[in-house]
Amino acid sequence: MMKKSRAVVGLIVYVLILGLLGYTAIFGVGADKSGSAGSIKLGLDLAGGVSITYQVVGDEEPNSEDMSDTIYKLQQRVDGYSTEAQVYQEGKDRINIEIPGVSDANAILEELGKPGSLYFIAQTGSDGSNNYDLIGYGIDAGGNLAPQYQLNKTMDELMADGSIVLDGTKVEDAQAKAQQDSMGNLENVVALSFNADGRDAFAAATKKAYENGETIAIYYDGEFVSVPNVQAVITDGNAVITGQQSVEEAQQLASTIRIGGLKLELEELRSNVVGAQLGSAAIETSLKAAAVGFALVVIFMIAVYYISGLAASLALCLYTELLVILLYAFEATLTLPGIAGIILSVGMAVDANVIIFARIREELATGKTVQSSIKIGFQKALSAILDGNITTLIAALVLYFMGSGTIKGFSITLMLGIFLSMFTALFVTRFLVNIFFALGVQSEKAYGVAKEKKPINFLSKRFVFFGISVAVILIGFIVMGVNSSKIGMPLNYSLDFVGGTSTTMTLNEDMSIEDIDAQIVPYVEDITGDGNVQTTKVAGSNQIIIKTRTLNVDERQQFADLMANNFGVDKNSITAETISATISSEMQTDAVKAVLLSTVLMLLYIWFRFKDIRFGASSVIALVHDVLVVLAFYAVVRISVGNTFIACMLTIVGYSINATIVIFDRIRENLREMGRKEDLQDLVNKSITQTLSRSIFTSLTTFFMVAALEVFGVSSIREFALPLMAGIICGTYSSICLTGAMWYVFRTKFVQKVEKK
Domain membership of residue 292 (yes or no) is yes
Is 435 found in the same domain as 287? yes
Is 543 found in the same domain as 466? no
* Model confidence band, residue 277 (pLDDT cutoffs 50, 70, 90): low
Domain membership of residue 270 (yes or no) is no
Is 73 found in the same domain as 124? no
Is 257 found in the same domain as 145? yes
Name the DSSP class of 572.
G
- Indicate if the pLDDT at residue 251 is higher than 90: no
Distance CA 365, CA 375 (A): 15
Domain membership of residue 179 (yes or no) is yes
Q: Residue 171, class by beta-carbon neighbours within 10 Å (0-12 exposed, 13-18 middle, 19+ buried)?
A: buried
- Best-predicted range by mean pLDDT (44-58, 104-118, 320-334, 477-491): 477-491
Domain membership of residue 493 (yes or no) is no
Look at 350-354, 598-602, 627-631, 652-656 and tell me which has the smallest mean pLDDT.
Answer: 652-656
Is 135 found in the same domain as 95? no
The whole-number pLDDT of residue 689 equals: 93
Q: Are 71 and 95 in contact (CB under 8 A)?
A: yes
Query: Is the C-alpha dihedral spanning 169, 173, 176, 180 positive or negative?
Result: negative
Q: Taking CA 729 as the corner, what is the angle to CA 311 and CA 485, rounded to the nearest 5 degrees?
A: 150
Q: Which residue has the higher pLDDT, 299 or 585?
A: 299
* Model confidence band, residue 509 (pLDDT cutoffs 50, 70, 90): confident
Q: Say which residues have a Cβ less than 8 Å from residue 742's Cβ, sequence separation at least 6.
A: 617, 618, 621, 622
Is 445 found in the same domain as 358? yes
What is the percentage of the chain residues whose pLDDT exceeds 90?
Answer: 21
CATH number for 380: 1.20.1640.10
**Last residue of some domain: 87, 110, 133?**
110
The whole-number pLDDT of residue 754 equals: 41
- Indicate if the pLDDT at residue 185 is higher than 70: yes
Distance CA 41, CA 79 (A): 13
Distance CA 475, CA 212 (A): 72
What would the pLDDT profile of 222-243 be if each residue is shown by its tens digit?
A: 788 888 888 889 999 899 998 8
- Indicate if the pLDDT at residue 698 is higher than 80: yes
Domain membership of residue 480 (yes or no) is no
CATH number for 536: 3.30.70.3400
Look at 113-122, 331-340, 398-407, 685-694 and tell me which has the smallest mean pLDDT.
Answer: 331-340
Is 305 found in the same domain as 434? yes
Is 522 found in the same domain as 427? no
**Residue 263: which region, alpha, beta or left (left: phi > 0; alpha: psi -120 to 50)?**
alpha
Look at 307-321, 332-346, 675-689 and tell me which has the smallest mean pLDDT.
Answer: 332-346
Look at 91-95, 578-582, 707-711 and tell me which has the smallest mean pLDDT.
Answer: 578-582
* Model confidence band, residue 290 (pLDDT cutoffs 50, 70, 90): confident
* Model confidence band, residue 35 (pLDDT cutoffs 50, 70, 90): low
CATH number for 153: 3.30.1360
Please state the domain count of the chain. Answer: 5
Write the single-letter amino acid at 622.
A
Is 127 found in the same domain as 85? no
Give the three-state DSSP class for 616: helix
- Indicate if the pLDDT at residue 218 is higher than 60: yes
- Indicate if the pLDDT at residue 719 is higher than 80: no
Is 236 found in the same domain as 91? no
- Indicate if the pLDDT at residue 134 is higher than 90: no
**Last residue of some domain: 516, 546, 579?**
579
Domain membership of residue 666 (yes or no) is yes
For range 691-707, the mean pLDDT: 87
Q: What are the backbone angles phi and psi of residue 712, rounded to the nearest 5°?
A: -100, -15
For range 357-377, the mean pLDDT: 91
Is 623 found in the same domain as 672? yes
**Residue 91: which region, alpha, beta or left (left: phi > 0; alpha: psi -120 to 50)?**
left
Domain membership of residue 274 (yes or no) is no
Domain membership of residue 488 (yes or no) is no
Number of H helices, E strands in the chain: 27, 19
Angstrom CA distances, 83 to 171, 337, 536, stand at: 23, 13, 19
Range of the domain at 714: 280-449+458-473+585-751
For range 583-608, the mean pLDDT: 80
Give the three-state DSSP class for 404: coil
Q: Taking CA 102 as the corner, what is the angle to CA 322 and CA 251, rounded to the nearest 5 degrees?
A: 80
Is 255 found in the same domain as 310? no
